[in-house]
Structure 1
Amino acid sequence: MKTDAPPALLLAAGRGERMRPLTDTTPKPLLPVQGLPLLQWHLQALQDGGVTRVVINTAWLGEQISDRFSSVFGLQRLSGKRQQLSISYSHEGVDFGGALETAGGIARALPQLGQVFWLAAGDVFAPDFVFDMAAVQAFERSHSLAHLWLVPNPAHNPRGDFGLSADGLALNLPPDDPAPRYTYSTIALLRAELFAPPWCDIPPGNPTGVKAPLAPVLRRAMDAGRVSASLYTGRWTDVGTPERLAELNR
């Protein structure tokens, strides 16, 4: 029986302080990378992976993002068929006056998502990443609440974020543990269950706009052996500074 591709949540609410002055007038996910808005690279890859529904969360200059992509994203294929993504929005800036951080934003968007969904940050450039249905099916069969893609540590994060066991579990290593750590790519498969107790105490749909980071939620689940991970070695850049953006566009 064919499984439909799950929806995706693209995180696009941040202020982009380190990218100023570029982000004073343009939200970071709309900055051009190799001729396309940064967020469009994810949209194209999701479409290629068979995803048909995307939610984008916004805050800083969020109206520019919804004006740019509207409610449908589609590319003409050589076959003549036009595959499209349906796009909806979680406007945190409109609803709460600002971004809710990652866990807060996910919890807010959760009513628009399914029990399993893709997550990706809109300020990361990963043109080789494949939103693969085989990965979805393996995740759905597993006991994991999250599956993270980790990358080799970039220069700006030399200590990394999480360990990776030989059997594919993400590890919440103590600070003095000498085991290798890798950087979280911000791309993941998640279950809605991760955003309920005992992992997360934000009320369903985050009606009051609680601001909360994702890392503590993931670490609780890691300590219970409920987070798996893979090492991704394709091109990947956290487009966090004007210098990194300029390097990508050279």
Structure 2
Amino acid sequence: MRALLLAAGLGTRLRPLTLTVPKCLVEIHGRPLLDYWLEHIFSAGIERALINTHWLPDAVRSHVQASHFAGRIDLVYEADLLGTAGTVGANAAWLGDDPFLLVHADNLTDFDVRGFIRRHQQRPSHCAITMLAFRTDVPKTCGILGLDCENVVTSFHEKVENPPGNLANAAVYLCEPEVVRLIRSLRRPVVDFSTEVIPAFMGRILAVETNGYHRDIGSPEALALAEREFVPMPGFA
């Protein structure tokens, strides 16, 4: 299985730190966020990863080239950001015709990748996406989920002021090839996964809640919390 790591964001809320450091290379416990992701997915059996870049791409390229995973990583530069789903559509040939892992690599997480893949393989037959979910302490900043008795997503409340719960989209997905076909059918370069793809597959997305750590480190406050809370698993050090 292949993985697409979305890592091209500007990290504006983390400025001035991200004026000189790409968000994916911001450090937690002295280690770049991207390294946690690479260790995590490759140790779980992911064969190859594609990382998109935009802001400070040379820094990301140099870091990847120095990684012991370099031979299993491809990079793609976006002169203009394509959105969280536009990158998927633009790299359809690289993804091929198999299920793939799609992650927002600006989150710090230690979810069970192998278990997540198993749940996708065992998903209800009508589901085309399996979504990682987590319990958030700030629901209004997340996409909050409503589920049916099979844990299939029936409602999605993206960053609303009074969300009906705290079970949130973790922005980690296992997608079937039809997701790529839907994105490409829109015939636009810029496509957003949360506002355009998720609604199109409503009722066909299995939610799998993680009992591990998960946090968007996109603000100074969240980064400080991650430094205090996160305990790297064996293999993350």
Following the alignment from structure 2 to structure 1, what is the Cα–Cα distance between the partners of residues 71 and 42? 7
What's the TM-score once normalised by structure 2's chain length? 0.83
Once residues 27 and 219 of structure 2 are traced to their aligned partners in structure 1, the CA distance between those partners, rounded to angstroms, is 13
Count of aligned pairs:
223
Asked if the contact 1:126/1:235 (under 8 Å) is kept, the reply is yes
The answer to whether the aligner puts 1:88 opposite 2:74 as a matched pair is yes
Alignment partner of 1:126 is 2:109: yes
Distance in 2 (CA, whole Å) between partners of 1:196 and 1:19 is 34
Task: Tell me which residue corresponds to 1:247.
Answer: 225
Contact persistence 1:7–1:52 (CA under 8 A):
yes
Q: Which has the higher helix share?
A: 2
Distance between the aligned counterparts of 2:179 and 2:36, measured in 1?
27
Cα displacement string for residues 2-22 of structure 1 (whole angstroms, at most 9, x for unaligned residues) = xxxx10010001111111111
- SS where residue 54 of structure 1 aligns? strand
Map 1:69-218 → 2, pairs under 5 A = 69-70=64-65, 73-74=68-69, 86-92=72-78, 97-114=79-96, 115-132=98-115, 133-139=117-123, 142-155=125-138, 157=140, 160-173=143-156, 180=165, 182-197=167-182, 201-203=185-187, 210-215=189-194, 216-218=196-198
Question: 2-side partners of 1:109 and 1:99: how far apart?
Answer: 13
Structure 2 residue matching 1:161: 3-state secondary structure: strand
Superposed CA deviations along residues 120-166 of structure 1, whole A, max 9, x for unmatched, are 11110002443444234325x83322110111123263674221222
For the 8 Å contact 1:8–1:55, the answer to whether it is kept is: yes
User: Residues 221, 47 of structure 1: CA spacing in aligned structure 2 closer, same or farther, 3 A cutoff?
Assistant: same
Query: Are the aligned partners of 2:139 and 2:166 in contact in 1 as well (CA < 8 Å)?
Result: no
Which position in structure 2 is the counterpart of 1:49?
A: 44
CA distance in 2, matches of 1:226, 1:58: 30
* Separation (CA, whole Å) in 1 of partners of 2:80 and 2:40: 28
RMSD over equivalenced CA pairs, Å: 2.7
Q: Which runs of 5+ in 2 are unaligned?
A: 229-237
Distance 1:27 1:173, change over 3 A: closer
Structure 1: unaligned runs, 5 residues or longer: 1-5, 75-83
Between the aligned partners of 2:85 and 2:9, the Cα distance in structure 1 is 13
Distance 1:19 1:159 in 2: 18
CA distance in 1, matches of 2:169, 2:66: 29
TM-score for the superposition, normalised by structure 1: 0.79
What's the secondary structure of 2:140's corresponding residue?
A: coil
Conserved? CA contact 1:153–1:160, under 8 Å = no
The one-letter code of the counterpart of 2:129 is A
Report the AA paired with residue 64 of structure 1: A
SS at match of 1:249: helix
Does structure 2 retain, via aligned residues, the 8 Å contact 1:13–1:59? yes
Residues 168 and 228, structure 1, Cα contact 8 Å, conserved in 2: yes
1:234 maps to 2:212? yes
